[in-house]
Amino acid sequence: MIHHLKLIQLKSGVVAEKAEGIMVESRIRLLKIQDVLSLACGKKIPLPGHESSHDLFLALEFENSLKRTSAFDHPLYHQFEAQVLRPHSQKIEVLEFEMDPGKDVRFS
């Protein structure tokens, strides 16, 4: 299982309503891609004494790295990046994790 996490810093001037729209568009567009097993997205919760430059996150789950590559090569993903991510993002940090196949994570 591959977990792909994008931490997104929005451009200054992007209002909170637009952040909500980005979250909605992410769900609508990315869940149409067959190789995406699950999608979670959310916006930052301000914590006292903790400053974060990331405004949104997207977490995608794929069965394996081949499916991940296939999803990112999909025309719908390219369209999503061009129309939703790039115009509103100042910086995107990407993290990826692979879970140990066959390991029951409830006992780790």
Judged by average pLDDT, the poorest of 3-12, 27-36, 63-72, 96-105 is: 96-105
Domain containing residue 66: 2-98
Domains in the chain, number: 1
Please give the structure tokens belonging to residue 11.
């451009």
99 closest CA partner among 58, 62, 69: 62
106, part of any domain:
no
Question: Could you tell me if residue 103 is inside a domain?
Answer: no
First and final CA of the chain: distance in angstroms?
16
pLDDT band at 101 (very low <50, low <70, confident <90, very high): low
State pLDDT tens for residues 31-76.
999 999 999 999 988 778 777 788 899 999 999 889 999 999 999 9
